[in-house]
Structure 1
Amino acid sequence: MKIGEQNLAEEIKNRNSDALEYAIDNYGKLIYKIVYNILNSFGDKESIQECVSDVFTAVWYNIKTYDNEKASFKSWIIAISKYKAIDYRKKLMKN
């Protein structure tokens, strides 16, 4: 089955790893930019990359909470990125 924007969330819900790879390919740079802007002055490149990885892990495990009636997949993943990066920033500030 071909994965696209229309069936991306459904395929991730069905645990299709190709769908997650599609999300990484299509949203990876955007997510990195969001995380980088929040963590740049607090963390190193490893922290930023770890946070980006955690965003996609959160997408994989929390996809059942996604509701396409409330927001687009892109908006949903941007929100996850923002809040995950803020959590990382808080953690880095404590250390």
Structure 2
Amino acid sequence: MEISDKNVVKQLKKKNEKALQYLIDTYGGLVKHIVYKYLYKYPQEREECINDVFWVVWDKISAFDPKKNSLKKIGLPQSLPTKRLIISVRS
């Protein structure tokens, strides 16, 4: 099955690893840019934070209701990395 913006949430809920790879391929560059922008002083935290962003999506996707929101509307990937960054820097 071809993964697209239209079916990625459904496929993530089915724990289709190709859907996770689609997210990484589609949003990975932007997530990395945001993380590097805020964690430039913390190079050891960067990769962990990037991984955390996608792990949270994978782990919490069952609570996501596509009828109420879209991934883009809730700010993935813009808001989630910022939240993970705050946690990383405070830890």
Alignment TM class, shorter chain as reference: 0.7 to 0.9
Contact kept, 8 Å, 1:59 with 1:77, in 2: the verdict is no
* TM superposition score normalised by structure 2: 0.87
Which residue is 1:11 aligned to? 11
Contact kept, 8 Å, 1:35 with 1:85, in 2: the verdict is yes
- Give 5+ residue unaligned stretches, structure 1: none
Contact kept, 8 Å, 1:38 with 1:89, in 2: the verdict is no
Q: Evaluate the alpha carbon distance shift between residue 77 and residue 66 of structure 1 in structure 2; reply closer, same or farther with a 3 A threshold.
A: farther
The Cα RMSD (Å) is: 1.4
Contact kept, 8 Å, 1:20 with 1:60, in 2: the verdict is yes
Q: Compare the two structures and name the one with the higher helix fraction.
A: 1
Which residue is 1:90 aligned to? 90
Equivalent pairs: percent with the same residue? 34
How many equivalent pairs are there? 89
Q: Evaluate the alpha carbon distance shift between residue 70 and residue 76 of structure 1 in structure 2; reply closer, same or farther with a 3 A threshold.
A: farther
- Whichever residue aligns with residue 6 of structure 2, its letter is Q
* TM superposition score normalised by structure 1: 0.84
Of 54, 58, 68, which aligns to 1:60? 58
